[in-house]
Amino acid sequence: MDTLPLVAPEQVGLSAARLDRVGKWMHRWVDSGRLAGMVTVVMRRGELAFAETAGKADLERNRPMRPDSIFRIYSMTKPLTSTAIMMLYEEGRFQLDDPISKFIPGFANPRVYAGGSRGKIDSVPAEREINFRDLLTHTSGLTYGFMESNPVDALYRAKDGVDFQTADTSLKQVVEKLATFPLIAQPGKAWNYSVATDVLGYLVEVISGQPFQVFLKDKVLKPLGMVDTDFHVPADKHERFAANYQAGPSNANGAGKLELIDDPSKSRYLNPRKVNSGGGGLVSTASDYLRFCKFMLNKGELDGVRLLGRKTVELMTMNHLKGDMADMGMPRFSESTYYGIGFGLGFSVMIDPAKAHILGTPGEYAWGGAASTAFWCDPQEDMAVVMLTQLMPSSTYPIRRELRVLTYQAIVD
């Protein structure tokens, strides 16, 4: 990695022999044909203790995976957008329980889906309006078009619907269209993964008076030294951009030929966009994202630059739900169950590892992306892990859960 020198794992309470299992695991996944390639890094006590690449970044061009390969991080964009809005919160621009209609009038007097038949959607007035905390915790009643679970998300998918990944108008226009749709649940009552963080991106724009992508780059990414993180891949970095795949039909070994779904030489990520998705639009590298993890573990400061106060980071990384995500209506999303796992302001938060059936620590916070990327930060162990690969959807294989076990079993102090 280009930002931190590797140290002997034993210096930071990790076993080199046990960490070696991570590398072998990576190569098994690649050698089986189920993943094209991957990068994994493990940091403890601010030191890089493990960094390995496996496989190819681009099978079609036979390009090897590199430590500085660039990946679509999709929903790992969300913690960065959440950081941006919380910086504005620290300036006293809004309170967490303020209705967002103060800044986006279209969200005043929302309505909530209440059934319907023959293509007609019935709705009732919301008990209260969406506030900032609802967006940060995914309890706003918004949803995603790809959920395909009720007639409301069909509105998102319609020809004149909302798709922050492909829209070519403006962030303002897409969010204002979204505000005309009914919610799928009363604000604050249920956890539903959604476009909420895209709305936060637009709120950054409205409150700061700067285009969202400009604020994020100038106030978050540049100060943190995240030099390869952006909403597009510039021309001088194209050869570092990994291909994105999905699993083909399975053969006798349970693995199929990987099918290319985004060619890095033709991708929409090669050019700047009009609509920049705060919920899933960024590309990044392992070393860049590890810098963000280090900033979070340092409670809002990195290399002498402070973007958030300690108390703000503590608030962001505590559970804000009534119970866990399963209690709030979403027992499973991606490949993991959500028993024992809550949600903070932009991150999932571990409440009870025994209930979650996984190694971990209460208070550890995390998230992942649609192309099977993942990160987590563990303040108690002073440890962070970033894994980047490119396979959609993230529910295809249980690689995140496997990697959690492999990294935690290497702690020996």
Indicate the burial class of 208 (C-beta count within 10 angstroms; 0-12, 13-18, 19 or more): buried
Choose between 68 and 251: higher pLDDT. 68
For 129, the domain range is 95-199
Task: In whole angstroms, give the CA distance from residue 153 to residue 147.
Answer: 7
Q: How many domains does the chain have?
A: 2
Q: Does 16 share its domain with 138?
A: no
| Rounded average pLDDT over 65-78 | 98
pTM for this one?
0.96
Residue 42 lies in a domain: yes
- With a cut of 70, say whether residue 331 has pLDDT above it: no
Residue 205 lies in a domain: no
3-state DSSP assignment of residue 6: strand
In degrees, to the nearest 5, what angle opens at C-alpha 161 toward C-alphas 104 and 178?
15
In 325-408, the DSSP E strands lie at 332-333, 336-337, 341-343, 348-350, 365-368, 374-378, 383-388, 391-392
Would you say 267 and 58 are in contact if contact means Cβ atoms under 8 Å apart? no
In degrees, to the nearest 5, what angle opens at C-alpha 56 toward C-alphas 365 and 60?
130
Each as own residue / partner, the long-range contacts of residues 313-316 (CB below 8 Å, 24 or more positions apart, any chain) are 315/344, 315/345, 316/82, 316/86, 316/344, 316/345, 316/346, 316/347
Q: pLDDT > 70: what percent of the chain?
A: 96
**pLDDT value of position 36:** 98
Residue 50 lies in a domain: yes
Q: Does 162 share its domain with 30?
A: no
pLDDT averaged over every residue in the chain = 95
**pLDDT value of position 4:** 78
Adjacent-strand bridge partners of 332: 337
Q: Does 27 share its domain with 128?
A: no
**pLDDT value of position 254:** 59
Q: pLDDT > 90: what percent of the chain?
A: 89
**pLDDT value of position 146:** 87
| pLDDT digits 0-9 by tens, 214-237 | 999 999 999 999 999 999 999 999
* Residue 247 Cα to chain centre, angstroms: 21
Q: Does 249 share its domain with 271?
A: yes
Adjacent-strand bridge partners of 41: 51, 386
| Rounded average pLDDT over 173-186 | 97
Q: Does 219 share its domain with 178?
A: no
**pLDDT value of position 336:** 58
Would you say 142 and 192 are in contact if contact means Cβ atoms under 8 Å apart? yes
Would you say 216 and 255 are in contact if contact means Cβ atoms under 8 Å apart? no
Going by the DSSP 8-state scheme, the letter that residue 342 receives in this structure is: E
Going by the DSSP 8-state scheme, the letter that residue 182 receives in this structure is: P
| pLDDT digits 0-9 by tens, 18-33 | 999 999 999 999 999 9
What CATH number did the domain enclosing 42 receive? 3.40.710.10
Residue 130 banded pLDDT, cuts 50, 70, 90: very high
First-to-last C-alpha distance (Å) of the chain: 25
Q: Does 251 share its domain with 388?
A: yes
Chosen domain end from 199, 223, 245: 199
Choose between 74 and 161: higher pLDDT. 74
Each residue of 24-46: b (16+ CB within 10 Å) or e? Answer: ebbeebbeebbbbbbbbbbbbee
Chosen domain end from 199, 234, 258: 199
Q: Does 65 share its domain with 120?
A: no
Adjacent-strand bridge partners of 374: 368, 387
Residue 117 banded pLDDT, cuts 50, 70, 90: confident
- With a cut of 70, say whether residue 84 has pLDDT above it: yes
Q: Does 274 share its domain with 177?
A: no
In angstroms, what CA-CA distances link 316 with 1, 60, 206?
Answer: 28, 41, 22
Residue 251 banded pLDDT, cuts 50, 70, 90: low
Residue 332 banded pLDDT, cuts 50, 70, 90: very low
Choose between 161 and 50: higher pLDDT. 50
| pLDDT digits 0-9 by tens, 253-264 | 556 799 999 999
Residue 86 lies in a domain: no
| pLDDT digits 0-9 by tens, 295-312 | 999 999 999 999 999 999
Q: Does 236 share its domain with 369?
A: yes
- With a cut of 50, say whether residue 335 has pLDDT above it: no
